Structure formats: structure tokens, C-alpha cells
Structure 1
Amino acid sequence: MIELDGLRYEYDDVPGPPDRAPLLFLHEGLGSVGLWRGFHRRIAEESGRRTVAYSRLGHGRSDPPRSPRSVGFMADEAATVVPELCTALGLDRPVLVGHSDGGTIALLAAAAMSVSGVVVLAPHVLVEGFALEAIRAARDAFETGDLRDRMARHHDDPDAAFRGWNDVWLAPAFRDWDVRDRLGAITAPVLGIQGDKDPYGSEVHVRSVAERAAGPVGITELHCGHSPHLELPDETAAAITAFLADLP
């Protein structure tokens, strides 16, 4: 655990040599350190880089947030927690690796701080109608199915973890959420990985990054759903390690 602004964050720190930029993993909307299922450790081993994964407030074993999340929670995380965590842990110009909401946070952080690269798995840059249908289905599974029980195995407060994601995405004020105008400030190299059967987003998100970012952007499309690193771990790991190998 590490304390920032009086609140404790769970993190996993895999050592690596100081001459290579470290990696910081940012999890999805219902994720945590544990729900990477060890993928961050695999990338640490295959890339030979120090790798840190952390759980946002309300997720995993981290403390609950002080207040409910706002529509701008991803921008807030990118502007405050990510740079503060990097400073506290000595992560100098890291490569940010984010999945889903974590991918969005990685992009927003890269637009505002010095990073060596960005890897995003199924990120979000705007709201698509069909994605909201999948998010409503998740709400039903949580309220009437077994999703809450399954989440309780990985989160100290499954209600905080779920509501902090689901309530925001389904809020009327979130319908017009769009961060594409922020992407032009990204100058570091970016790798976007997108599944062609993702119920939470189409290729418009990674394509928007490629069209708007100021730095080089590569796109890898895979035949999978929303979690390439879990559904096609070998292909996803190969794409990420190849991207890291080409960084200065």
C-alpha cells in the first residue's frame, strides 16, 4: 500500500533495471491489481522493465473514495493521482499501459505529463450508444445476477467499485462526454489495441487517437472482445513487447 493525500492505494511493483522507462498499468472500470490476472507481470518479464500496477480508490484493496465520482473522474485521475503516484514511486517518464477506462486515463495523462510511450487496450474517447446497452446489462447482472458476488472476491467494497463505474457511465450528463479534443497534446508513441467484437466500443476510439495524436500511433486489431490481454494474451503480449522494444 502507498498513501497519497491521506488515502491508501494498493499496488504491485515488479523490479526492473533503471536504464529503461518503467511501465505503469491502469485497470479497467471494474478492475484492480489482481484482475490483471498477472498480465502486468508477464509484460515485466518479457520486456525486462520495472512494472507497477495499482488499484484506483474503491477498487481492489485500495481505500474507498471520499465522495462519489463525477463525470470527469477519468480526467481527474489523470491530472492528480497518476503524476502523484509516479513521483511517489520514482517512475520517471513511464510507459502508461491502460485498459478500457484505464486506457482513457492513460491517454489523458499522456496529454499532460512527460511519458515515454502509451499502450491502450480498448480505450474510450467518446460515448457510443451500443456500449451503453452493454453497461446496462452489467447493471442488471450486478443487481439481480451473480456479478456482485464475483466482484466481492476481488474488491473490498464491490458496491463502490461497481457504482463508481456504472452510475457515471449511465448518467444523463455523461452522454455528451468526449475527450477527442485532448488527444492532440499527446506527443509520445502510442500503441492502440482493439478487439473487433468488443461490446463496449468500436475501432472509432483507437482510430481517433491515430487521427489526432501529435506523435506516432500504431494500431493492432485482434479477433476478440473487450479484454485482449485475457482473451488473446499471447498476441497481445507480443504486440506490446514489440512496441516497447522499438521505444528509444
Structure 2
Amino acid sequence: MGRSDALIEFGIALPIALLFATGIAWVVQRVFRRRLSLPLSVMILVSILGLSAGMLLAGSLFSGLRLWMPTTIVLAFACSAGLSFLAAGIAAVITGGSGNADVPAMLAAGESDRVEFKETARWNVREVKKDARMEQVVAKTVAAFLNSAGGTLVIGVDDAGTPIGLDRDYATLRTPDADRFELWLRDMLASSLGKNAAALPRVRFARVDGAEICIVRCPRAAEPVFVSAGGSTELWVRVGNSTRAFGVDEAVSYVARRFKPSVTEMILRRR
């Protein structure tokens, strides 16, 4: 039996193209950093589409080209990089233009059942020192928003909505900047809430009146999120403008009422 060289070439090229698409997407994310809201998976898909567009362009402009010829490779990766940076730039402009515009209005509106202000995340203002209890307050607030209708936690703002900044929290980090702060925040939430829950909030930073603040937007979680602290596990829920821990009986009732499985989930569980 004969062999198909075209299929063999495609089988070799497919994982290589995926590897290079991932590399291009990673580079784009490193360049745009916090300005890019698109996840890596989306950027990989855009990069793959760019590779495909480049190969189509090469086949349309030049006759007799094969997959591994330099012209094909150069056009494919040039289109992939160009499309990836274009998509990232558009996304950064859209989120940058509309993302920070609502922050002053949100601070002026004050705290509510969907908005909570925290002056610091690690620094105890009264005792003038780093305090793990402050971290737990942040974790409980995020969990409460996830367990309720969602909400936004703003760090670096006092109770009156005045931007204070993150300088005191930054001073507790090895590298005092926003990237290290977000890394610490993600790690802390993963330790307290679990990795799946820690991946849900969207973290971004904004500068208001010269002070840099952190905005943590929490969606409504699809399953209950529990806070682990000191060997105990607690369910925290947003009740009005406050964050409240539910006892065992309340937690069981709330979870049963709030996190009802869908018909699809019930069918899949029975199988």
C-alpha cells in the first residue's frame, strides 16, 4: 500500500503549529500584561487563525509552494503574530477605555450589596504591621460575592470611598508592584478557597486621584465556595452590605436553595 505524503506533512505540522501559536500568544500576553483581558486560550485560537490565514495567503499569491518552504513559513507566522497583536491591541483599547471610566463613579456611589471597599489587604492599619487576619478578610469577602450574586471588591480605598493606594501592601512584597500583588492575591485565594474558585475573579488595577487601587470583580459561582482557615471550613455569604458566615444548618439550607442542579446535571449524575 502507498502512503499519503500530504497527510504525513499535516500530522507533523499540526502539533508544531500549535506549539508556535502558544508561544506567540504567550509573548503577546507578556507584552500587554494587565492591559489584556483576553485569556491565553483565546489568544492561542487567534494565533492559530493567523497561521491559517498566512498559509492561505501564501497559496493564493505563489504557485507551487509547499508547506515547509521558507515563504510559506514566514507568511504564516507573520500573519499569526500580526493578527494576535491586532486582536490584543483592540481588546486593550476597549477594556482600557471603558474599564477605568466606571471606577470613580463606583467609589462615589459607596458600598452596597455588590460593592465592598478595603483599605488594605495585608497591612493592619491600627497595629501598623502585616497581619494574616487582613488576608482572611479579603478571602471571606471574595467567597461571599462568589456565593451570592457576584460583586466587586476594591482594595486600596477607605470606607468613605477615598482612594488611599496600595503602597502599604506593596511594601510587604519582595517586589513592590501590581504584578507581584496580583500573584500574591491569586496564591492566597487558591490557598483559602481552592484553585478553581481562585480562578473565577477578574483582577485589574486603576489609578484614581494619583493612587493605584485593585479592583477584584467576582462573578456568581456555579457551586458553593468554602473558606478554609485554621482547620475549619466556613460558608460566607453577602447579606445586604455585610459579609456573614453561615452556621451548619443555614449553610446546608442556603446551598440546597442557591445551588440547585440543572436538569442536565441531574441526568448526567444518574448515568
Scaled to the shorter chain, the TM-score interval is under 0.3
Higher relative CO (Cα under 8 Å, sequence separation at least 6) belongs to 1
Higher helix share: 2
- Of the two, which has the highest radius of gyration? 2
Output the TM-score relative to the length of structure 1.
0.25
